[in-house]
Structure 1
Amino acid sequence: MDHNRQTRILATLGPATDSVEAIGKLLDAGANIFRLNMSHARHDWAKTTTAHIREAAAQRGREPAILMDLQGPAIRTGDLPEPLELKQGDRFDFTVDATMQGDRVVGVNYPNFLNDIEVGAIILIDNGLIRMKVLNKTESVAECEVDIGGTIGSRRHINLPGTKVSLPALTEKDRRDAALGLELGVDYLALSFVREAADVEELQALIHAGDHPTKVVAKIEDQHAVKRIRRIIKVADAIMVARGDLGVECPYEELPIIQRHIVRECLTVGKPVVVATHMLESMINEPHPTRAEVTDVANAVFEQADAIMLSGETSVGQFPTMCVEVMDRIARRMEQERGARFHREAKLTDQRQRLAKSAVRMADDLAADAIVMFTVSGRMARETAWMRPRHAKILALCADPRVAGALALHRGVTPVIIENFCPDFPVLDAIATLKERGHLQAGQTVVVSSSTKAVEKIANSVQIHEVS
């Protein structure tokens, strides 16, 4: 199946989809990136599943990206003897002293909890299902009143909207998982609960210490990150709008505005952006999306996000392949519209960016089928994707599988590995190779963008070719 779709689809793998056969079906349906969620994964599973991805991809001549999502510094409740029913107006206490736990007191796994929390602060349990307000705090407990009741169980996730926590950017588990990801050669590490640019730089330092090419996706999940979004975008390789925790940490009516703001900021400076969480949530158990979900996916495509993500829909859902097919259909249809065009606010700063814009403008004017380019580092392909071609797919020829894998996240880019590739590879040979591999057909119009070094200068060119 020819997936001439610009928006990339990111599928999370899990028990429903970790076999070679299941991954192959996701690839056939249109998946471009695979996510390994280390919040729930063992190292042996991650190793086996990574091998399965590469086997399924090799069978199809595809170059999907692999993204390992680090759990991050999650705050959770301690163990309870049995689930506890809380009603509005009930009193309930949190402590960091495990010896104090009782019927109305539960421990927290975060030692600085009482230092960070203030009287009047809001505490949300289980992704916001239970809401409490801090009435008082002592050296040992935070005394709370229940605003919205529910059933609280053991090891439930805690959100502290508006509270600046002093958690580390990387936990020891994250460091072990990141080391595994680097050993496996994953293309991206996603850093959870990023609060500032320094968090991203800490993970990048760990990566660069081993001279790895792996890139960092900064997950935006709370108000503090939103306030510092420009600085985070500047240092990160990509951004993920992680709407699960973000929708709990921020007022829900602000979430669509925050999403659009982050996408706009990314497209203004050319950073890839992923919109994630609850996109087709009902399809975990149902074979059809809700009308609201269709509109949600369509809006992310209209905003021209680089990628849209499936979580539980493909990791544990009953209809994983169908979910990818649904996303593919919605994205294809929305890409026929003009889109938000946020990238037009970009300020170009160098010759490569201007060359990319020229190639895209020519492709748009000619209604070309593809933009073909030669890239060693992937930069030229990234710059071209930033300019958002209206219809043309971007065929990026390169020699390095790691460069190809990283490019799979970028909107409209199809990486193509050519073993004997060099920047001076003959254009007609490249077009013939792409035709042979099924990327181009006779009669199609292509724009070829190249940047080669001649003596001491860089020679840039944009050419038009018809596939014979």
Structure 2
Amino acid sequence: MRKTKIIATIGPSSRKPEIIKNLIEAGVNIFRLNFSHGDHEYHKKNIEIIRIAAKESGKIVGILQDLSGPKVRIGEVKNPIFLHEGEILEIYKEPIMCEKKNSVAKIYIDYPQILEDLKIGDLIYIADGAIRVRVIEKHPSKVITQVIIGGIISSRKGVNFPGAEISISALTSKDKIDLEFGIKQGVDFVALSFVKDEKDIEECKEIIKKLKGNQWVFAKIETQKAVENIDKILNVSDGIMIARGDLGVEVPIEKVPIIQKEIVKKAKDKGLPVIIATQMLTSMINSIMPTRADVSDIANAVLDGADALMLSDETAVGKYPVQSVKMMVKIIKEAEKIYNYEMETHPHVSSDYAIAYSSVILAKDIRANKIIVFTKSGSSAKRVSRFRPASLILANVHDEDILRKLTILWGVYPYTVLSENQEPENMVKEFVKRAYRDKIIKENETLVLTMGYPVGKVGSTNLIRILKQEQIKEIIGL
């Protein structure tokens, strides 16, 4: 069974009920709702369709709310502006007529307060870095820049400020409204865009707590500042998304693969799920077959040990959404055949991870191909997943909300919801009977179990048990 999870973005190409159901059957574990597009009614309808399709498919499927964040854009440009190296570009705080006269171009941006934070010498990238300018003067109403790399400016092009100390919050007023909507709709994960430091994550978590939500918050790493502050961000996040699109603008593009590998390793060492996003299968937006480069990119992300890979335009607006997922499944399965489980040994683990690590070592030594985790909050499943066992991790919980959250974790198969008002032995018997009936386990298997006593208490995982073949047969009545 595939261990690396797949996230698919919902959009015009994929929001019909039959396509969503086909995507689930093809292998999607989580659907992403991109709040840079669509209103609340649009997203509410998508959530309803996803929940119905998941139920009809008999699959556990998660939903990720991706907040738009403070994406800075140029205002309306009536006629395209051609910039050449050495010319002057003035960027205004207030809306103006965007035009060019006598080698001096004028534009405005939709987050004018950012101009206050800029310093002489700071770089500004426009249109994903295709156009680059440097700040040479600051004035109360504008900044004056000189063009380093020219190009054509048109309406709503994105603007980046690599390395600049920007004070604007990652959570905009729109994001806060969207977040409240997402919590009410019961989304499972929230991805926070343009994170700079740990304070952005803490602010988001505080809002979720105040609104009585329990969503896991993923920090999107797509700015130079986020890369610099990655250790502090990891300390407060529930997971990480490496958003390579804007990241490839903010940092030299040749550094992106190295940054990706370093962050994946740091996240794994922390026991946090990590998503690789952006341009995983771009070639399949308009083609039934991917390029060799895309195939290699996916395979390398799998071999790095990423928890999940995300499809964006491929499923949102592409011509072949279902085929893209099927292709990703094929590539993942092939790469996982040579995954180096031996590299996941940890000679020194904390007491919090001792049971999880011991269960992985035990499963390997006795050749148990499944580790059964009984968990209240999902933490035990997350801890076992951290050590990337060759054995499949079957998770049993007491709450369906927690079960859906486990869809993001590497190697974890969110299986069933069990009553917590029973003795451990009865819980084990209930699991075995269900799993055998559903053909999840076989009578000739040996299983490693982890659970806590007393049952139903968060953080109480303190038991490891081996369930032998004869014990399984006795429970199922063979």
Measured after TM superposition, the shift of residue 149 of structure 1 is 2.6
Supply the AA of the counterpart residue of 2:373.
M
Specify whether residues 20 and 435 from structure 1 end up closer, same or farther in structure 2 by C-alpha distance, changes over 3 A only.
farther
Q: Which residue of 2 aligns with 1:375?
A: 375
Q: Which residue of 2 aligns with 1:358?
A: 358
Measured after TM superposition, the shift of residue 66 of structure 1 is 0.6
Q: Which residue of 2 aligns with 1:334?
A: 335
Measured after TM superposition, the shift of residue 100 of structure 1 is 6.1
Provide Cα deviations, 1:347-389, integer angstroms capped at 9, x if missing partner. 52225x2111121112223443321121111111111111111
Which of 460, 463, 467 pairs up with 1:464?
Answer: 467
Specify whether residues 241 and 346 from structure 1 end up closer, same or farther in structure 2 by C-alpha distance, changes over 3 A only.
farther
Give the share of equivalent positions with the same residue, in percent.
Answer: 37
Supply the AA of the counterpart residue of 2:11.
G
Supply the AA of the counterpart residue of 2:463.
N
Provide Cα deviations, 1:31-57, integer angstroms capped at 9, x if missing partner. 111100001121111100001110010
Measured after TM superposition, the shift of residue 434 of structure 1 is 1.1
Q: Which residue of 1 aligns with 2:394?
A: 395
Supply the AA of the counterpart residue of 1:460.
L
Q: Are 1:42 and 2:39 counterparts?
A: yes
SS of aligned partner of 2:99:
coil
Answer yes or no: is the 8 Å Cα contact 1:120–1:133 preserved in 2. yes
Q: Which moved more, 1:91-100 or 1:175-184?
A: 91-100
Supply the AA of the counterpart residue of 2:84.
K
SS of aligned partner of 1:164:
coil
Supply the AA of the counterpart residue of 2:447.
V
Measured after TM superposition, the shift of residue 340 of structure 1 is 7.8
Specify whether residues 458 and 416 from structure 1 end up closer, same or farther in structure 2 by C-alpha distance, changes over 3 A only.
closer
Supply the AA of the counterpart residue of 1:19.
K
Q: Measure the CA separation in 2 of the matches of 1:59 and 1:135.
A: 60
Answer yes or no: is the 8 Å Cα contact 1:371–1:394 preserved in 2. yes
Q: Measure the CA separation in 2 of the matches of 1:221 and 1:342.
A: 28
Q: Which residue of 1 aligns with 2:74?
A: 77
Q: Measure the CA separation in 1 of the matches of 2:73 and 2:345.
A: 43
Q: Measure the CA separation in 1 of the matches of 2:345 and 2:274.
A: 16
Gaps of 5+ in 2: 474-478
1:10-409 pair list within 5 angstroms: 10-99=7-96, 101-103=98-100, 104-339=105-340, 343-344=344-345, 347-351=348-352, 353-390=353-390, 392-409=391-408
Provide Cα deviations, 1:279-312, integer angstroms capped at 9, x if missing partner. 1111111111111111111111111011111111
Q: Measure the CA separation in 2 of the matches of 1:74 and 1:346.
A: 43
Q: Measure the CA separation in 2 of the matches of 1:296 and 1:458.
A: 37
Answer yes or no: is the 8 Å Cα contact 1:68–1:181 preserved in 2. yes
Supply the AA of the counterpart residue of 2:332.
A
SS of aligned partner of 1:74:
coil
Supply the AA of the counterpart residue of 2:304.
E
Q: Which residue of 2 aligns with 1:427?
A: 428
Specify whether residues 325 and 88 from structure 1 end up closer, same or farther in structure 2 by C-alpha distance, changes over 3 A only.
same
Give the TM-score of the pair, scaled to structure 1.
0.94
The number of residue pairs the alignment matches comes to: 462
Q: Measure the CA separation in 2 of the matches of 1:38 and 1:400.
A: 27
Two-structure CA RMSD over aligned residues (Å): 2.0
Specify whether residues 214 and 227 from structure 1 end up closer, same or farther in structure 2 by C-alpha distance, changes over 3 A only.
same
Supply the AA of the counterpart residue of 1:372.
I
Measured after TM superposition, the shift of residue 233 of structure 1 is 0.6
SS of aligned partner of 1:98:
coil
Measured after TM superposition, the shift of residue 85 of structure 1 is 2.8
Q: Measure the CA separation in 2 of the matches of 1:175 and 1:406.
A: 22
Answer yes or no: is the 8 Å Cα contact 1:269–1:347 preserved in 2. no
Q: Measure the CA separation in 1 of the matches of 2:376 and 2:288.
A: 42
Gaps of 5+ in 1: none
Q: Measure the CA separation in 2 of the matches of 1:161 and 1:343.
A: 35
Q: Measure the CA separation in 1 of the matches of 2:10 and 2:259.
A: 27
Specify whether residues 65 and 346 from structure 1 end up closer, same or farther in structure 2 by C-alpha distance, changes over 3 A only.
farther
Measured after TM superposition, the shift of residue 189 of structure 1 is 0.8
Q: Measure the CA separation in 1 of the matches of 2:66 and 2:342.
A: 29
SS of aligned partner of 1:75:
coil
Answer yes or no: is the 8 Å Cα contact 1:267–1:346 preserved in 2. no
SS of aligned partner of 1:453:
coil
Measured after TM superposition, the shift of residue 412 of structure 1 is 0.8
Supply the AA of the counterpart residue of 2:468.
H
Q: Measure the CA separation in 1 of the matches of 2:290 and 2:120.
A: 42
SS of aligned partner of 1:381:
helix
Answer yes or no: is the 8 Å Cα contact 1:218–1:236 preserved in 2. yes
Q: Which moved more, 1:89-98 or 1:257-266?
A: 89-98
Supply the AA of the counterpart residue of 1:403.
I
Q: Which moved more, 1:110-119 or 1:158-167?
A: 110-119
Q: Which residue of 2 aligns with 1:8?
A: 5
Q: Measure the CA separation in 1 of the matches of 2:191 and 2:461.
A: 35
SS of aligned partner of 1:389:
coil
Q: Measure the CA separation in 1 of the matches of 2:26 and 2:357.
A: 31
Provide Cα deviations, 1:174-208, integer angstroms capped at 9, x if missing partner. 00100110000001111001111111010100000
Measured after TM superposition, the shift of residue 141 of structure 1 is 2.5
Answer yes or no: is the 8 Å Cα contact 2:341–2:388 preserved in 1. no
Answer yes or no: is the 8 Å Cα contact 1:274–1:309 preserved in 2. yes
Supply the AA of the counterpart residue of 1:178.
L
